[in-house]
Structure 1
């Protein structure tokens, strides 16, 4: 329960930040062009609000319905009084098409800038750590998903889409985006096509586990707390497991496969301990196996040579822009696949329930800001859609006006906006219902 609460608090803070930044973009540009802003609200406030206070011409507040936020700009949404009145110089409709276009685009611009700023600061503080593909010396380890798309333990990936992937960090994304994988399988070069039938396995997964990782030797990191059987066995940190019941073990995947044959049995474990071969009797538990945690490839600096990059603030800026652009390209690719029913990418669509699951159960600021930056560029992308009531819908009307040099009838704009709002509302309700089904019923 505590972990669920922490996840939702992180989601609430992240979404609130994105809404405020988005609406602030509209607000700042409206003020810059001397357009009056009547209301600035975090969340919607039908019938009543949790908090509101008028400062100058603007009422600032917090609504009770956490499905977004809004700024009410004078002259943007017509009422009966405004329709019959003369245009005032503080009204949105009195401004030039360029100024109106900038005001409407302010939210999208703000979300893009927020993503760039967050990634820039994260790169400046932490830098980046890469594993060059050439240093993945033992090939890859795959899970059931990796096997379904044709990969096998020990494969060495040579190319994806005919291109060499310099860093292994980029390999999973390249595979999801690609159409073919070329591997070296025990000295034989094999080409694996990635059609929609195979990609559906990648999109239809319930968890975002990596389906490939570097193949590694089984080296003990530490023992499971209070696991008596592991204490009896005498296994220690940094022991490298060499065999189980005289069956030779070279890699972690081989250890897992072997241990599952001896569930609830005692086995003879041979380990390399500081150059000495030690043999111990250990019990194979159904859940904890040998009662040990093994090292991951990240813990094996002596085996895998990582490249670590540190950036000055100036250097981190172009890399922050590049990272934002890369995430945007991934989102566009995912959106294209949503309409390919065969890939089942539509199953990854979710509401705040799905988003909450992506946050860690323990508070982690690095992950929080990374996910917030990702959501920020996603929000910018969605708002570009030319649907009335979204920013993209207003942008489309203004662009049409700029091209035709004719003002679109305000009644038509208003009716289209109401219709667009109804469409968006129905879509949101369907997504939430689908998410509830996925999270709680499936």
Structure 2
């Protein structure tokens, strides 16, 4: 229950920041062009609001429906009373097309800048840690998804799309974006194609995660309480060397052997700080010892990492680059939604899915990373030329700039209402789909 509350608070805070920054973009540029903003609201306020206060010409407030926010700009939506009068200097419709375009694009611009700023600050604070591909000396370990894509434990990745990838951190994304991967499999060079049929395995699962990691020796990171491992005296940092007469070099081999010896007594050989021990252990039908093994990030004595620290100004281009990479990943995902064979549509989700992405314990690093990712996602979605989205208004203004004629305001209003209804239906469908996934997917 507490974990659900923590996730919900993180999501609400993240969404609130994104809404405020987006609407602030419209607000600041409107004010710069001396256009009045009548209302500035976090969340929607049909029938009533939680809080509101008028300062100057603007009513600032918080609504009760957390599905977005809005600014009401004078002279943007025309009612019967307003349409009969000439436009005032402080109204949106009195401004030139380029000024109106900038006011509308302000939300998108501020979301992009927010994403760059957050990533820049994270890089400045934590630096960047890379694992050079050449240092992945034991090859890769793959999960069931990696195996379906044609990869095997121990493969050494040479090229993706015919290009050498300098850092292992970039290889999983390169494979998803790519069309082929070349591996060294026990001395044999093999080129694997990556078509839509194979990529569907990436999307056709409940949670997106990396499907490959560097192959590592089976060293215990943590022994769970009241587990089989604790009962028989296994400890943190023990290295498992073998089961019965079979030697073990890597974590994936340990997992395979444990599934092989279910419901049996086994003899486990371990290395404990240079002392070689053997323990008789009964493995239950589940084939679980109750241990967490160390991953490659926790084995810096085996892998040589590169750590880069930056000044704040050096972090800016890296923040821009990370924002661009996130955007490319989102565009790739969006394109694949329309390729039914990839089953990318299964990853579409509402606020419920978004909340699950936050950790059950508060982590500022993850919180800000996810907020920056959502910020560029909101900017991307708002570029779509759908009436009621920023992109829809921008399209009308572009048409006006090209034709040199103003579009009838009533037409814009009707299109906006229609666009709002369509988007509302899509949102309702996504929420229903998200709920159905719990039962059928």
Q: TM-score, structure 2 length as denominator?
A: 0.97
1:140-174 alpha-carbon deviations (Å, 9 max, x no partner): 11111111110111111111111111111111111
Q: Return the alpha-carbon distance in structure 2 between the equivalents of residues 416 and 293 of structure 1.
A: 56
**Matched residue, 1:428:** 427
**Matched residue, 1:245:** 244
Quote the offset at 1:441 in angstroms: 5.0
**Matched residue, 1:213:** 213
Q: Return the alpha-carbon distance in structure 1 between the equivalents of residues 236 and 425 of structure 2.
A: 56
Q: Return the alpha-carbon distance in structure 1 between the equivalents of residues 52 and 5 of structure 2.
A: 27
Contact 1:204–1:347 under 8 Å retained in 2: yes
1:281-331 alpha-carbon deviations (Å, 9 max, x no partner): 223245582333221111111111111111110100110000001111111
Contact 1:233–1:283 under 8 Å retained in 2: no
Contact 2:202–2:208 under 8 Å retained in 1: no
**Matched residue, 2:9:** 9
Q: Return the alpha-carbon distance in structure 1 between the equivalents of residues 296 and 180 of structure 2.
A: 26
2:75 equivalent to 1:71? no
**Matched residue, 1:202:** 202
Q: Return the alpha-carbon distance in structure 2 between the equivalents of residues 372 and 231 of structure 1.
A: 39
**Matched residue, 1:137:** 137
2:369 equivalent to 1:383? no
1:317-364 alpha-carbon deviations (Å, 9 max, x no partner): 110000001111111111111111111111111110110111101111
Q: Within 5 Å, give how 1:277-426 maps onto structure 2.
A: 277-286=276-285, 289-426=288-425
Between 1:40-49 and 1:235-244, the stretch displaced more is 235-244
**Matched residue, 1:185:** 185
Unaligned residue ranges in structure 1 (runs of 5+): none
* SS of aligned partner of 1:207: coil
Q: Within 5 Å, give how 1:33-72 maps onto structure 2.
A: 33-72=33-72
* SS of aligned partner of 1:64: strand
* SS of aligned partner of 2:46: coil
Contact 1:203–1:344 under 8 Å retained in 2: yes
Between 1:7-16 and 1:267-276, the stretch displaced more is 267-276
Contact 2:382–2:389 under 8 Å retained in 1: yes
Contact 1:117–1:320 under 8 Å retained in 2: yes
Quote the offset at 1:61 in angstroms: 1.0
Contact 2:159–2:182 under 8 Å retained in 1: yes
* SS of aligned partner of 2:82: helix
1:77-117 alpha-carbon deviations (Å, 9 max, x no partner): 00011111011000000011111111000000010000001
**Matched residue, 2:102:** 102
**Matched residue, 1:174:** 174
Q: Return the alpha-carbon distance in structure 2 between the equivalents of residues 101 and 40 of structure 1.
A: 19
Q: Return the alpha-carbon distance in structure 2 between the equivalents of residues 231 and 92 of structure 1.
A: 70
Alpha carbons of structure 1 residues 232 and 203: separation in structure 2 relative to 1, 3 Å: closer
Quote the offset at 1:238 in angstroms: 2.2
- Aligned residue pairs total 441
Contact 2:74–2:91 under 8 Å retained in 1: yes
Quote the offset at 1:231 in angstroms: 4.1
Contact 2:259–2:287 under 8 Å retained in 1: no
Q: Return the alpha-carbon distance in structure 2 between the equivalents of residues 110 and 286 of structure 1.
A: 55
Quote the offset at 1:371 in angstroms: 0.1
Q: Return the alpha-carbon distance in structure 1 between the equivalents of residues 118 and 275 of structure 2.
A: 49
Unaligned residue ranges in structure 2 (runs of 5+): none
Q: Return the alpha-carbon distance in structure 2 between the equivalents of residues 50 and 295 of structure 1.
A: 49
Contact 2:41–2:63 under 8 Å retained in 1: yes
Contact 1:285–1:291 under 8 Å retained in 2: no
Q: TM-score, structure 1 length as denominator?
A: 0.97
Alpha carbons of structure 1 residues 289 and 362: separation in structure 2 relative to 1, 3 Å: same
Quote the offset at 1:422 in angstroms: 1.1
Q: Return the alpha-carbon distance in structure 1 between the equivalents of residues 291 and 425 of structure 2.
A: 50
